[in-house]
Chains A and B, each alone.
Chain A
Amino acid sequence: MLSNIGNLLIFFTVVTSLLVIFKSSKLILSSANSISKNIYQLSILQSTFSIMSFVVLVIGFVISDFSLITVFQNSHTTKPLIYKISGTWGNHEGSLLLWINVLTIFSYLFLVFSKKFNNEFRLGTIITQNFLLLGFLAFLLFNSNPFSYIFPVPLEGLGLNPILQDPALAIHPPLLYVGFVGSSIYFSAAISSLFTNFGGKQFALSIKPWVIISWVFQTLGILVGSIWAYYELGWGGFWFWDPVENASLMPWFVMTALMHSLIVLEKRGTLYNWVVIMCLTTFTLTVTGTFLVRSGILNSVHTFANDPSRGLFILMFLSVMILFSIITFLKKFKLQNYLIETQSKETLILLNNWIMIFFLATILIGTVYPIFTEVLINSKISVGPPFYNTILIPVVIPILFLMAVAPRVGWIKAKFSISYYSLLVVLFALLINFLIQKAFKSYSWYSNLIIISSIFLIIYTLIDLFRGNFKKDLNNRLSRIISHLGFGLLIFFIGINHTLTIEKDFNLKVGETKNFLNYQIKFKSLDLEEKKNYKAVVGNFEILNKMKKKSEKLTPEIRIYDRPETITYEASIKSNISHDLYLTMSNIQRTEFYNIKFQEKPFMIWIWVSVILIALGGITKVFRNESNT
């Protein structure tokens, strides 16, 4: 029943999509001056159909209609309601439908909010957008249909992997998808602008809000994923340079680069070709990321349900997309005269872009290198985190300095000089760094360098906030200040957190006590708890900090889920503004020992807050729709 309704709605979406392409092309060919109401209506109809099909799938999950294979494979009647709903996009088929939803909604919103721009350009964008949509719809229908039918209807579902039954993972995919799919708008816009000769400042203005919105969601999506990894995976880390994580970070770098070069296009009217390349790259990388994740070609710690046939389809789609983009670009490419003085803001923004591309290249090489070695010399390898850390972290230091200084440099022609004022800030940063070492403990010269440069950025940006005519031109720089400040704080807190974390692994029996450094960890007892869809073994621990004479109770759990039968370890985390206490417990088979991991991680919350601040900068930009100085 639901299967039929769902398929029918998908079919309607396909039909409206074809109609939109047909009508828009006709309008362009007749070179009409306005966009007829028809297209708006079709576009809203299309969004309605796709949203309804998604709602149908959600209903399927809520009422546990196991005649749908997707529901059967990923749900279970005893699952809490919220995870039944979030289970809709917790699997491949459902998430693809969500992807399509975002795509149609964004197309409609673009149509509505782009009224002040050239109509031909708008129609071109909508047409490209609908071709992309058709591609994904074909993928859905022929390969990953969430409405596939199963007969005889099973009585009970297989259940959702308990590690995915989590509030953070309920919102992580939608956030990331808005970021991912948001980039499709400026991919289509770039293609359209090449065809319709709609370039320059107007083009920059037309895609600016979409770039910022997708960037904000991408940032938040990555954040939520990291938080999840932090408390769920039980290692106490939040970034592992895993291929799947890299797949979400790569488009982020290009988006960031694009956001900056777009300012040049808007203010100075140059860099058009470069901006178009960035637009095309972002969405290409997004689809590449999806390919890497879903095809199972990479060996990741986050194993997704994967299937080579999906990979093949995405790969074909990707090849067509890349080929089409390159051909269009080369065909329509017009040489522009770049007259950029070396000493100007334009140069510095280009420098920003190069660094972003460098980051991207490094991560891309690290991520796909294992594929090549496997195919070419049949040796199975993986690239360890030290690769990324050795290459990327040194570059962060000049970035921090540039992020502080560059926004102050003028357009067109300026003079680079080292002011006494900057030196004063450096001295101040050195002083604060010295005080931190005095208060806690000393750390390596390398950490010193990173922390000093991050403090430099923080102070410099804060002063920027109060500089000049405070109220009058604050609008112009507020969002930049918030984001740059957020980045400075992020690096600062990661640096401090990294150098001052205390970590200890050991095995303990019930009733025993472990002493180390200033800590005494007492394993008091074990409780057994019975919950709706799992049983839990709860450990009662008392952690005494002998220096501060403060004790905390932590209760890590071992959960045994019944559907599917899985054991998970729940970390017990006590967060406060100065540090997190982190404890995990796991049983060791056939012994009485429990494996304990204890961590004290300073300023953990502030890492999350810094990222929120970075995203907040983007949000204020969208709402204020301000012009940048």
Chain B
Amino acid sequence: MLTKKVKNRIIFLSLVIFSILIISITLFKILEKNLLYFLTPTEISNIQDTKLNKVYRIGGMVKKDSIKASKDEIKFIVTDFKNEILVSYSGSIPNLFAEGKGVVVEGELKDKKYVIAKKILAKHDENYMPPELKDIMKDVK
């Protein structure tokens, strides 16, 4: 027969282990749900249709002569020099946003050639290029 103290301790320990399990499972479930995948326009052109209407981060260069603005939105083309994708965006733009410069766009993919952006990510560094894009640039050059 276990003493009361030992019994209590067993109950306590199993409670702790159980709750840690529950917590970690929920933690990773929520994590999975909030992952943002980083894709290039080429990778987007290869994905399946089922992945549309999800939020992605898309990295590339802002294509030369592609920025157009109206009262409510800005449209531009992101390119990785193989494929391109049209971005429509209404929100504030970061200071290093310019044609011919690297950009990371976060938004909902409408089809393989069109994305509605929620956010354009700012970078502090004038020489900044998304690391993923650096590899691509090497191939181009």
Interface of A with B (CB < 8 Å)? 161, 163-164, 233-235, 299, 301-303, 358, 361-362, 365-366, 369, 379-384, 386-387, 390-391, 505-508, 564-569, 584, 586, 588-591, 593, 595-597
B31 within 8 A of A: yes
Q: Show 11 residue pairs from A and B whose CB-CB distance is below 8 angstroms, ordered by the A residue.
A: A235-B92, A299-B130, A381-B37, A384-B35, A506-B72, A507-B71, A588-B67, A589-B67, A591-B69, A595-B69, A595-B93
Cβ of A505 and Cβ of B126 under 8 Å apart?
no
CA of A235 to CA of B67 in the docked complex: distance in angstroms? 21
CA of A593 to CA of B72 in the docked complex: distance in angstroms? 10
B48 within 8 A of A: no
Cβ of A390 and Cβ of B67 under 8 Å apart?
no
Closest A residue by C-beta to B96: A567
Interface of A is mostly: mixed
Interface-lining segment among B80-88, B108-116, B117-125: B117-125
Closest B residue by C-beta to A232: B124
B138 within 8 A of A: no
| Contacts beyond the supplied A507-B74, A588-B74: 11 A-B pairs with Cβ under 8 Å | A161-B124, A301-B121, A365-B28, A381-B35, A382-B36, A505-B91, A566-B95, A586-B92, A586-B95, A589-B67, A595-B92
CA of A163 to CA of B122 in the docked complex: distance in angstroms? 12
Closest B residue by C-beta to A559: B95
Closest B residue by C-beta to A585: B92
Chain B residues 5 to 23 lying within 8 A of chain A, measured CB to CB, are 23
| Contacts known (A301-B124, A380-B132); A366 close to B31, Cβ less than 8 A | yes
CA of A161 to CA of B125 in the docked complex: distance in angstroms? 7
Q: How far is the CB of A446 from chain B (nearest CB, A)?
A: 16
Q: How far is the CB of B107 from chain A (nearest CB, A)?
A: 12
Which residues on the B side are within 8 Å of A234 (C-beta)? 92, 94-95, 122
Closest B residue by C-beta to A594: B69
CA of A505 to CA of B93 in the docked complex: distance in angstroms? 10
Which residues on the B side are within 8 Å of A358 (C-beta)? 23
Cβ of A302 and Cβ of B91 under 8 Å apart?
no
Cβ of B126 and Cβ of A564 under 8 Å apart?
yes
CA of A234 to CA of B94 in the docked complex: distance in angstroms? 8
Closest A residue by C-beta to B106: A384
B141 within 8 A of A: no
B68 within 8 A of A: yes
Which residues on the A side are within 8 Å of B27 (C-beta)? 361-362, 365, 391
Closest B residue by C-beta to A370: B35
Which residues on the A side are within 8 Å of B31 (C-beta)? 365-366, 369, 383, 387
- For the complex of A and B, the 3 pairs showing the least CB-CB separation, nearest first, are A597-B92, A387-B34, A380-B38
Q: How far is the CB of A390 from chain B (nearest CB, A)?
A: 5
Cβ of A567 and Cβ of B95 under 8 Å apart?
yes
Query: Which of A303, A566, A588, A597 interacts with B91 by CB under 8 Å?
Result: A597
Cβ of B91 and Cβ of A384 under 8 Å apart?
no
Which residues on the B side are within 8 Å of A588 (C-beta)? 67, 69, 74, 93
Q: How far is the CB of A387 from chain B (nearest CB, A)?
A: 4
- CB 8 Å contact bits of B53-79 with A (1 = contact, 0 = none): 001010000000101111111100000
| Contacts known (A505-B90, A588-B93); A380 close to B125, Cβ less than 8 A | no
CA of A506 to CA of B93 in the docked complex: distance in angstroms? 11
B47 within 8 A of A: no
Query: Which of B68, B72, B128 interacts with A591 by CB under 8 Å?
Result: B68
CA of A302 to CA of B33 in the docked complex: distance in angstroms? 25
Query: Which of B65, B92, B98, B130 has the most CB atoms of chain A within a 10 A radius of its CB?
Result: B92
Cβ of B30 and Cβ of A387 under 8 Å apart?
yes
Which residues on the B side are within 8 Å of A361 (C-beta)? 27
CA of A237 to CA of B131 in the docked complex: distance in angstroms? 25
Q: How far is the CB of A585 from chain B (nearest CB, A)?
A: 9
Which residues on the A side are within 8 Å of B30 (C-beta)? 387, 390-391
Cβ of A303 and Cβ of B124 under 8 Å apart?
yes
Which residues on the A side are within 8 Å of B130 (C-beta)? 299
Q: How far is the CB of A358 from chain B (nearest CB, A)?
A: 7
Q: How far is the CB of A228 from chain B (nearest CB, A)?
A: 11
| Contacts known (A380-B37, A390-B34, A590-B67); A565 close to B126, Cβ less than 8 A | yes
Q: How far is the CB of A220 from chain B (nearest CB, A)?
A: 22
Which residues on the B side are within 8 Å of A584 (C-beta)? 92
| Contacts known (A365-B27, A384-B34, A505-B90); A595 close to B74, Cβ less than 8 A | yes
CA of A569 to CA of B98 in the docked complex: distance in angstroms? 13
Which residues on the A side are within 8 Å of B23 (C-beta)? 358
Cβ of B35 and Cβ of A508 under 8 Å apart?
no
CA of A301 to CA of B125 in the docked complex: distance in angstroms? 9
Q: How far is the CB of B138 from chain A (nearest CB, A)?
A: 16
Q: How far is the CB of A68 from chain B (nearest CB, A)?
A: 21
Q: How far is the CB of B100 from chain A (nearest CB, A)?
A: 10
Closest B residue by C-beta to A571: B92
CA of A384 to CA of B35 in the docked complex: distance in angstroms? 6
| Contacts known (A299-B131, A507-B71); A566 close to B126, Cβ less than 8 A | yes
Q: How far is the CB of B11 from chain A (nearest CB, A)?
A: 11
Cβ of B37 and Cβ of A383 under 8 Å apart?
no
CA of A295 to CA of B67 in the docked complex: distance in angstroms? 34
Q: How far is the CB of A234 from chain B (nearest CB, A)?
A: 6
Query: Which of A299, A362, A593 has the most CB atoms of chain B within a 10 A radius of its CB?
Result: A299
